[in-house]
Amino acid sequence: MLTRRIIPCFDVDNGRVVKGVSFVELR
């Protein structure tokens, strides 16, 4: 079964911090 985990991630774009959500699939 695949478990989807939602983890908050911070991406730096053009010298700017953007808040994003990454979906990681755990097997």
25 has a pLDDT exceeding 60: yes
How many other C-beta atoms can be found within 10 angstroms of the C-beta atom of residue 9?
10
- The pLDDT, as a whole number, for residue 14 is 73
Number of domains in the chain: 1
Return d(Cα 27, Cα 5) in angstroms, integer: 11
- Assign 9 a pLDDT band (cuts: 50, 70, 90): low
Q: Catalogue the long-range contacts made by 15-18 (C-beta closer than 8 Å, 24 or more residues apart).
A: none
| Domain span at 7 | 1-27
Question: What pTM was computed for the model?
Answer: 0.23
Q: What is the mean pLDDT of the chain?
A: 65
Radius of gyration for the chain, computed over Cα atoms and rounded to the nearest angstrom: 12
